[in-house]
Amino acid sequence: MKLLRYGPVGKEKPGMLDAEGKIRDLSKVVSDIGGDVLSPASLAKLRKLDPKKLPLVKGSPRIGPCVANPQKFIAIGLNYSDHAAESNLPVPPEPVVFTKQVSCLSGPNDDVTIPPKSKKSDWEVELGVIIGTRAKNIKKKDALKHVAGYCTINDLSEREFQAERAGQWTKGKSYDTFGPVGPWLVTSDEVKNPQNLNLWLELNGKRVQDGNTKTMVFGVAHIVAYLSQFFTLMPGDIITTGTPPGVGMGMKPQRFLKPGDRMVIGIDGLGVQRQVVRRDR
């Protein structure tokens, strides 16, 4: 299934994408896409629905983040060895963990706003993992049982805030709109192997990132089990798993986002995002 949320900011409704790519309304079936709605039992009930019997959503509504009100938005850094190399950093012996504040969540096609004083805002296409059941101190072999599904994420980053000012990465990763998530959550039963997905990003029509999740240093199962040692993962939590090479920071000369830039971001089977960059006031 492909589950999504549509409508104005803060007033999104739950929906399902049918076989023809049309949105079907789920608001009379579930309150939203998140929390216990992502449990195996709940998803099993949704799979039994006939999308053709659900109300058709007319027009082209805005698509919101595919998960409602996650408790946590967790990120993994330097998880592709070639991206670590372009960042002039060693491949980490354990996953590098940081957080993106949930206030940065935005829809997949919403404008990206860079901070007023930003000089080094950057892009990062990443595989997103959505937790479906509570995970605490779990084993790697059981980790994927706790995953509800996957999505496309652009882990936007302000590199000066992230690396050149004292403190942790979070403040360079959490500006409003720095977390486009979606367009939809693709349930895990439809993703045969999360470690073999092509992911890419185009900037102003030029492909700048082109990778595959098989080159991750730490795979999805490892990451989910690893994180569960340190804090409990809850239904609806989002994990963004790292980016392949091709970010602006790694270019020679470096290239960062400016107002008017256009990004197109995609992952095999998980949908495409389209964003225009503007500067915030």
**Tokens coding 198:** 């092509």
Give per-residue pLDDT as tens, 85-132.
877 778 889 999 999 999 999 999 999 999 998 999 999 999 999 999
Long-range contacts of 275-279 (CB under 8 A, 24+ apart): 275/108, 275/109, 275/110, 275/111, 275/112, 275/154, 275/180, 276/111, 276/112, 277/111, 277/112, 277/113, 277/114, 277/121, 278/111, 278/112, 278/113, 278/114, 279/113, 279/114, 279/116, 279/118
pLDDT of residue 87: 77
Q: Which CATH architecture has domain 67-279?
A: Alpha-Beta Complex (3.90)
Q: What is the pLDDT of residues 19-33, one digit of tens each?
A: 999 999 999 999 999
**Per-domain residue ranges of the chain:** 67-279
CB 187 within 8 A of CB 117: no
Q: Measured between alpha carbons, how far is 246 from 250 in angstroms, rounded to an integer?
A: 7
pLDDT score, position 257: 98
Q: What is d(CA 262, CA 277) in angstroms, rounded to the nearest whole number? A: 6
pLDDT of residue 83: 80
Mean pLDDT computed over every residue of the chain: 96
Percentage of residues in the chain having pLDDT higher than 70: 100
Nearest to residue 158, comparing CAs of 176, 170, 173?
Answer: 173
pLDDT score for 91: 84
Q: Give 52's DSSP letter.
A: G
Phi then psi dihedrals of residue 220, to 5 deg: -60, -45
User: Which residues, in sequence order, are bridge partners of residue 77?
Assistant: 96
Residue 16: what pLDDT? 98
| pLDDT digits 0-9 by tens, 40-67 | 999 999 999 999 999 999 999 999 999 9
Q: Give me the mean pLDDT over the 185-211 stretch.
A: 97
Q: What is the pLDDT of residue 190?
A: 97
pLDDT score recorded for residue 248: 96
pLDDT tens digits, 7-18? 999 999 999 999
- Residues of the chain with pLDDT > 90, as a percent, come to 91
Contact criterion met (CB below 8 Å) for 189 and 269: no
What was the pLDDT predicted at 165? 82
Q: How many CA atoms lie within 13 A of 203 on its CB side?
A: 18
pLDDT at position 84 is: 77
Backbone angles phi, psi at 175, to 5 degrees: -65, 150
What pLDDT, on the 0 to 100 scale, is given for residue 133? 98
**pLDDT at residue 85, as a whole number:** 80
- CA–CA distance, 80 with 216 (Å, rounded to integer): 5
pTM of structure = 0.96
| Beta strands 112-114 and 271-279, pairing class | parallel
Instruction: Tell me if 241 sits within 8 A of 79, measured CB to CB.
Output: yes
As a three-state string, the secondary structure of 128-181 is EEEECCCECCCCHHHHHHHEEEEEEEECCEEHHHHHHCCCCCHHHHCCCCCEEE
What confidence tier does 143 reach under pLDDT thresholds 50, 70, 90? very high
pLDDT at 89: 77
Q: How confident is the model at residue 35 (pLDDT cuts 50, 70, 90)?
A: very high
Calpha distance 170→259 (Å, rounded): 23
Amino acid 148: pLDDT: 98
Strands 238-240 and 73-77: parallel
pLDDT bin (cut points 50, 70, 90) of residue 81 is confident
Rounded to whole angstroms, the Cα distance separating 258 from 85 reads 25
Tokens of 129: 């993992």
